[in-house]
Structure 1
Amino acid sequence: MGVRKRHARAGAALVTIVVGAVALAPGAAVAVAPGAGTPVCEVRDERLNEISGMVATDTGYVVVNDGSDSEAARRIFFLDRRCTVVRTIAYPSRPRDTEDLAVGADGTVWVADIGDNDRTRQTIALWRLAPGADQPVLHRMTYPDGPHDAEALLLDSAGRPLIITKGGGGTVGLYAPTTALRPAATTPLAPVGRVALPASTTSNPYSFLGRGVVTGAASAPDGRRVVLRSYADAFEYDVRAGDVVAALTTGTARITPLPDEPQGESITYSRDGRWLLTISESADQPSGTRPAILRYPTTTAPSASPRPPEPTTAGPVAPAPGRPAAGHMVDTVNRIWPVVAGAGILLAVLGLAGVLRWRRADNR
């Protein structure tokens, strides 16, 4: 949404109040009835204060924080099956904004340092942690069309990284390296497709805005499914012949609602592939609680209409039947936002005036 996360928590309440009554377009697809996930374990380590990425392993989980001012929090954290931290690995230099994780077939852990809320980064990066290594190796990349904010990473069947932009209005971009990554080089990225997310009505802290952005991604252990998540839902796609890009750009999404997660950014598959696992940033938990890994059953039947093939270069996306184009949605938001903001300021001024008048009357 292009909002700095440290301000997003305060903005979430405003967005919910101001736009909560805005309805989705008629005919928008609705998935199965929402249901809360089942808690698996609770993360109690105070260093994990902005969890933004997670993968499951044979022995537990690996997680990373969003960008943090605390050096102790800027690490790769290994958890056991009870969510207890058993090991950490530091970065050799300070990461900018770590947002997601992926694990290769050989056990290599990839950390996606790709967040860019202000869209000012000249390069983004992936940190590669080989099995048994004691520090990750940095690989820099650059977009061909200017900075993007991104929070999701996938690996295709050949181990090639795919960066999924956060997007907005329900459309996100896919980017892949043009050559093999090298530690001492900056590798150009190229656009390889666009994804139109299915519409939903799932409740979340950011109302309709939270349903149209991608905050995490994961591949099933057998490589036959991938999932993207928003603040509200998980969108699961079948992968045929190892073609992840085709699955995302031409496949049929199956929707699992993830209702009312405080700021849901992480998603992964369980090691047996039967469950989707999620966790929210700990800073957004209610007072006195800690973030918990939640478990949802994977889907088995399509629940969203197929979409036509997407272009392989950044360009306009045709609207799906019964739903306005993503650009139209964003333009609509841009047009109404000044009016809504003005109305909100007016209400705030009137409310403040009322409070002051009440206080003066009370002091007489």
Structure 2
Amino acid sequence: MRVRGRLTWARRSRARAALVAVLAGVLPPAALATPSAAAGTAAAGTPVCQVRDDRLREISGMVATDDGYVMINDGADDEARRRIFFLDQRCAVVRSVAYPSRPRDTEDLAVGRDGTVWVADIGDNDRSRPTIALWRLTPGAGKPVLHRMTYPDGPHDAEALLLDADGRPLVITKGGSGTVFLYAPTTALRPGATTPMASVGQVTLPRTSTSNPFSFLGRGVITGAASAPDGRRVVLRSYADAFEYDVPAGDVVTALTSGTPRITPLPDEPQGESITYSRDGRSLLTVSETADQPAGTRPTVLRYPVTDAPAAAAGPTGSAGPVASTSVRPAAEEDGGAGGRTWPLAAGAGTLLALLGVGGVLWWRHTARR
């Protein structure tokens, strides 16, 4: 999802957002606490290559291949950017494939064992889409094929896609307060048909304090996902961290819903929405959007080593205050979800808008006096 003016807004409104969240009951007052010093110790990724093609400035999905990378933008207005881009190992575009019709909001990529590229057209900022879609590009094909799907419980915003051991797509919602939901098609996908999906589980993310442009808001959402080449691990990412789960029996849903992840901090990436494994499975690779960055800033693929350390034991839900990047505590569950927790004083949409106005006035008064 592209957030226009994202960095300027994020930096100037952290206090306002925290205030509004506390007033609305979405987060406990401890969310106003300053992140611990441990977050500052997280190491930045090692640069691999820069993407210099101006058509790739809003990168929302990436997968590594034997020859290089496949990348997509999110719902770009420019037709030249609405393509599936194939890059070499130096991040130079070597070819692109156009969609036969206009996608809505392409947010992630996955590659099947046979080399088929799946494009997740699943973004829905306004939660208004009657259907979402997957584009399927088989090796050697000149254009992708569209498959439509519907949620069983109304629209969701989502930015992450995984394939399970059988090649079944799993859509992971973006969330907002630390709990995300998994959906899968109930039958095989068919071109020209709309396939219903079913809810297959939920994931409560560990709470961290990794520094990122969106503060605590950026640590409670999922913006991308990937599977290791051998299928034994999967990773979910937020704007701040990567959460890696072991998949010992090939059951991705069970791994996500009952496993305890290892955490790799991804500190201060401008707007990190993409993640993939290197082809040898030893590294995590990421790339950020740079559309609103200073002139001349290029998207850069970063490498983070995969850790083999055992995951830390999970702590109690709702523990007060932020914790270090390497510790694991489930964040508060998302309102209204299956089995989710509803915070006291949770506000409806109208009330939240009013609180945003109040927060804005308080913030304006605070800055005006400085």
Query: Shorter-chain TM-score: which interval?
Result: 0.7 to 0.9
Q: 1:10 to 1:31 in 2, by over 3 A?
A: closer
Q: CA deviation at 1:333?
A: 8.0
- Report the equivalent of 1:216: 224
Kept in 2, the 8 Å contact 1:128–1:136? The answer is: yes
- Report the equivalent of 2:14: 16
Q: Could you tell me how far apart the structure 2 residues matched to 1:283 and 1:108 are?
A: 28
Deviation per residue, 1:98-156 (Å, 9 max, x gap): 00000000000000000000000000000000001110000000000000000000000
Deviation per residue, 1:175-232 (Å, 9 max, x gap): 0000000001000000000000000000111111110000000000000000000000
Larger-gyration structure (1/2): 1
Mapping 1:199-214, distance limit 5 Å:
199-214=207-222
- Report the equivalent of 2:300: 292
Q: Give 2:266's aligned amino acid.
A: L
Mapping 1:296-311, distance limit 5 Å:
296-306=304-314
Query: Taking structure 2 as the reference length, what is the TM-score of the superposition?
Result: 0.84
1:342 matched to 2:358? The reply is: yes
1:277 matched to 2:285? The reply is: yes
Q: 1:258 to 1:20 in 2, by over 3 A?
A: farther
Q: Give 1:15's aligned amino acid.
A: S
Q: Could you tell me how far apart the structure 2 residues matched to 1:23 and 1:67 are?
A: 36
Q: 1:350 to 1:39 in 2, by over 3 A?
A: closer
- Report the equivalent of 1:325: 332
Q: 1:293 to 1:346 in 2, by over 3 A?
A: same
User: Any idea what SS the aligned residue of 1:237 has?
Assistant: strand
1:92 matched to 2:100? The reply is: yes
User: Any idea what SS the aligned residue of 1:205 has?
Assistant: coil
Q: Could you tell me how far apart the structure 1 residues matched to 2:343 and 2:54 are?
A: 37
Q: Give 2:79's aligned amino acid.
A: E
User: Any idea what SS the aligned residue of 1:231 has?
Assistant: coil
- Report the equivalent of 2:67: 59
- Report the equivalent of 1:43: 51
Kept in 1, the 8 Å contact 2:60–2:108? The answer is: yes
- Report the equivalent of 2:160: 152
Unaligned runs of 5+ in 1: 308-317, 356-364
Q: Which moved more, 1:218-227 or 1:284-293?
A: 284-293
Q: Give 2:364's aligned amino acid.
A: A
Q: How many residues align?
A: 341
Q: 1:340 to 1:88 in 2, by over 3 A?
A: closer
Deviation per residue, 1:75-103 (Å, 9 max, x gap): 00000000000000000000000000000
Q: 1:92 to 1:324 in 2, by over 3 A?
A: closer
Identity %: 67
Q: Could you tell me how far apart the structure 2 residues matched to 1:43 and 1:127 are?
A: 23
Unaligned runs of 5+ in 2: 20-28, 321-329, 336-340
Q: Could you tell me how far apart the structure 2 residues matched to 1:331 and 1:293 are?
A: 42
Kept in 1, the 8 Å contact 2:206–2:331? The answer is: no
Kept in 1, the 8 Å contact 2:117–2:137? The answer is: yes
Q: 1:252 to 1:25 in 2, by over 3 A?
A: farther
1:72 to 66, 80, 87: 80
Q: Could you tell me how far apart the structure 2 residues matched to 1:202 and 1:351 are?
A: 26
Q: 1:178 to 1:350 in 2, by over 3 A?
A: closer
- Report the equivalent of 1:111: 119
Deviation per residue, 1:265-313 (Å, 9 max, x gap): 0000000000000000021433321110000001211343248xxxxxx
Deviation per residue, 1:310-340 (Å, 9 max, x gap): xxxxxxxx93666663246866785898557
User: Any idea what SS the aligned residue of 2:256 has?
Assistant: helix
